[in-house]
A and B are shown apart, each in its own frame.
Chain A
Amino acid sequence: MATRSRRASLVETTVLQPLDWVDERTAAVRATKWFLFRNVPRDISWAQTLGSAALTAFIVQTVTGVVLAMYYQPSSAIDPITGKPVAYSSIEHITNEVTLGWLVRGMHRWGASVFVILLFLHMGRVFLFGAYKYPRELTWITGVLLLVTGMLLGFTGYLLPWDQTAYWATVVGINLNGTAPFLGPWLAEFLASGPEITSDALAKWYALHMLVLPGAVIGLIFVHIYLVTRLGVSSPPWSAGAAGRERPAARPEGARTGLVRGSGGGK
């Protein structure tokens, strides 16, 4: 080829060569390319965006949650300065004093509701399309587990502001678990960190909400997305051009295509 344009050689040195260097060692670039440019059925559209929308909501929750964790204090002891529980005071502080704290807190709080709504909508869409059938059974199961864990995240997070709403909703929730046969009362005592909610309980729920449950959700998301990517997105079942549709049976050899003797013939 003739002399390469300056622009092309600039791109080559600043972008392509470093990417090659990384790809030779990690295979990350070729994996990303495969993920981005793989084919999906041509008849999928907006209905199939609910899953990634739920993922976006989860990412919003994670990001806002991480930032809130920099200001929130999980203690039910009374703050001698404000006369209110420390956790409650930190929430007041975030909402009233910290710059843009009200917005991040609001997004985290409403992001939770949006996340739950999207999970249900996505589940309903998958059910409607029959996309839980072979070979996507495990995808469905990880999805249900994601729904349960997502709702548990909402439940554990609800306690953290330590206001009346939070405290009493949690008391009832713990006792609901306590009515399970045999191990119920033991589970309830573990969750409350004592026969009833004690001063240790808030830190435990914070750890569950911030570390244990997000860890579980992230693990499940990886498995879920791996399965979706490997098995492919299914076409809408009513679509005329659905991927995997039955093809009309091949005609036997020698059959005529036309009505008039001598026309057609062969395959």
Chain B
Amino acid sequence: MARDLGELNREHFARYKDDVKKEGKPFFPRALFHDTVMSLVVVIVIAVLAVVWYYDAEGTEAGILGPWYTEPAEPGTTSFIPRPDWYFYFLFYLLRIFEWPESVFIATVGIPTIALILLLGLPFYDRRRERRPMHRPVAMVAAVLTVLSMAVLTWKGATAREALGSELVRLVPEWAEEQGFAQNREATDGAELFAQTGCLNCHTYLGEGAGTLGAPDLSAIGRTNDASFFVPFLTNPAAFGNTVMGSYAYLGQENLAALGAFLEASKGGE
């Protein structure tokens, strides 16, 4: 009684049509009622989101759902941090993961294209007649992995932060509070320089920055040394045995002194 897949499918579909005709319920009002209630929920959710968004924000000031708009487009900016809309965060974070230049096109076109081919071709490579989830292990594993990884990537994309000037400079008042140098003008200037000069591309400070191997956390560096050590060090790290750091002499004496004062005042926050 070996019947081929096509025959089995057609028989099943014929039975389905028959069952629906005999045992089914009318679309209106039975199913359309559920559809209508759900649609009402959707419309209400959209309206509520719109109202909350509007009343919690003001112009370019963000509320809980973001601002009404950001500043007008500035094609020549050097301080803006681009981000896509939230439902593209997973792609955005993939681009941060694939940071080896030879692999860039994997994240930009490779993965999305493969995902699209897998989605479109699904009915053609999954021809089994089995539809119960518990009896489709491959499908369920794939689904769970996809959902989890997209959720994680979206979350990581939402919280991604770059240790760059325009983001970090905003944190200087917080640092001043925590380290207690808010009254020290020189140290505050030094903190701003510290934020803008790319130090946190390697070092970490009060939870910000990249901890590239070898670059120590500087939050409490002021406990072990003072400005008279830091300024010569920054001018010529090689003289102190540090061959990884470049010289920061180009910043000029005044700026170096400010940095020294800042590092001296960084004694580890409360």
Which residues 170-189 of A sit at the B interface, judged by CB distance below 8 A? Answer: 171-173, 176, 179-181, 184
Contact: A144 with B116, CB < 8 Å? yes
Residue of A nearest to B79 (CB): A164
**Roughly how many angstroms separate A124 CA and B143 CA in the complex, as a whole number?**
8
* Stretch of A11-19, A131-139, A203-211, A252-260 at the chain-chain interface: A131-139
* Contact of A165 with B by CB under 8 A: yes
- Tell me which residues across on chain A come within 8 A of B129, comparing CB atoms: 133-134
Contact: B28 with A179, CB < 8 Å? no
- In this complex, how many residues of chain B approach chain A with their Cβ under 8 Å: the count is 76
* Contact of B130 with A by CB under 8 A: yes
Cβ distance B161 to chain A, nearest Cβ, rounded Å: 16
Chain A-chain B contacts (Cβ-Cβ < 8 Å), number: 238
**Roughly how many angstroms separate A109 CA and B67 CA in the complex, as a whole number?**
12
Cβ distance B128 to chain A, nearest Cβ, rounded Å: 8
- Tell me which residues across on chain B come within 8 A of A168, comparing CB atoms: 80, 82
Contact: B85 with A49, CB < 8 Å? no
* Contact of A191 with B by CB under 8 A: no
* Proximity string of chain B (69-113) to chain A, C-beta cutoff 8 Å, 1 when within and 0 when not: 111111101001011111110010000000000001100110000
Contact: A158 with B72, CB < 8 Å? no
* Contact of B225 with A by CB under 8 A: no
Which of A42, A48, A85, A105 neighbours the largest number of chain B CB atoms within 10 Å of its CB?
A: A42
- In this complex, how many residues of chain A approach chain B with their Cβ under 8 Å: the count is 91
* Contact of A75 with B by CB under 8 A: no
Select one of B15, B43, B116 contacting A60, CB under 8 A. Answer: B43
* Contact of B229 with A by CB under 8 A: no
Contact: A164 with B73, CB < 8 Å? yes
Which of A130, A169, A245 neighbours the largest number of chain B CB atoms within 10 Å of its CB?
A: A130
Q: A42-B25, A113-B86, A130-B132 are in contact. Are A176 and B108 (CB under 8 A)?
A: yes
**Roughly how many angstroms separate A161 CA and B30 CA in the complex, as a whole number?**
42
Contact: A244 with B42, CB < 8 Å? no
Which residues 40-85 of B sit at the A interface, judged by CB distance below 8 A? Answer: 41-43, 45-47, 49-51, 53-54, 65, 68-75, 77, 80, 82-85
Residue of B nearest to A118 (CB): B42
Select one of B68, B74, B88 contacting A164, CB under 8 A. Answer: B74
Q: A42-B25, A172-B84 are in contact. Are A53 and B38 (CB under 8 A)?
A: yes
Cβ distance A250 to chain B, nearest Cβ, rounded Å: 14
* Stretch of A1-9, A20-28, A32-40, A213-221 at the chain-chain interface: A32-40
Query: Which 3 residue pairs are nearest across A and B when measured between Cβ atoms?
Result: A106-B50, A130-B131, A39-B24
Residue of B nearest to A88 (CB): B72
Contact: A110 with B38, CB < 8 Å? no
**Roughly how many angstroms separate A149 CA and B179 CA in the complex, as a whole number?**
51
Contact: B20 with A164, CB < 8 Å? no
Cβ distance B144 to chain A, nearest Cβ, rounded Å: 11
Contact: A95 with B69, CB < 8 Å? yes
Contact: A130 with B136, CB < 8 Å? yes
* Contact of B122 with A by CB under 8 A: yes
**Roughly how many angstroms separate A184 CA and B132 CA in the complex, as a whole number?**
42
* Contact of A140 with B by CB under 8 A: yes
Contact: B46 with A52, CB < 8 Å? no
Cβ distance B86 to chain A, nearest Cβ, rounded Å: 7
Cβ distance A168 to chain B, nearest Cβ, rounded Å: 3
Q: A179-B109, A237-B133, A244-B19 are in contact. Are A114 and B46 (CB under 8 A)?
A: yes
Contact: A245 with B15, CB < 8 Å? yes
**Roughly how many angstroms separate A151 CA and B24 CA in the complex, as a whole number?**
36
Select one of B32, B43, B136 contacting A56, CB under 8 A. Answer: B43
- Tell me which residues across on chain A come within 8 A of B21, comparing CB atoms: 39
Can you list 25 A-B contacts (CB < 8 A)? A36-B32, A39-B27, A41-B16, A42-B23, A42-B30, A48-B34, A56-B39, A57-B46, A60-B42, A85-B73, A107-B47, A129-B131, A130-B133, A133-B131, A135-B13, A162-B72, A163-B72, A164-B73, A172-B82, A180-B108, A181-B109, A197-B75, A232-B16, A234-B16, A238-B134
Which residues 1-45 of B sit at the A interface, judged by CB distance below 8 A? Answer: 9, 12-13, 15-17, 19-21, 23-28, 30-32, 34-35, 37-39, 41-43, 45
- Tell me which residues across on chain A come within 8 A of B126, comparing CB atoms: 132-133
Cβ distance B92 to chain A, nearest Cβ, rounded Å: 8
Contact: B83 with A169, CB < 8 Å? yes
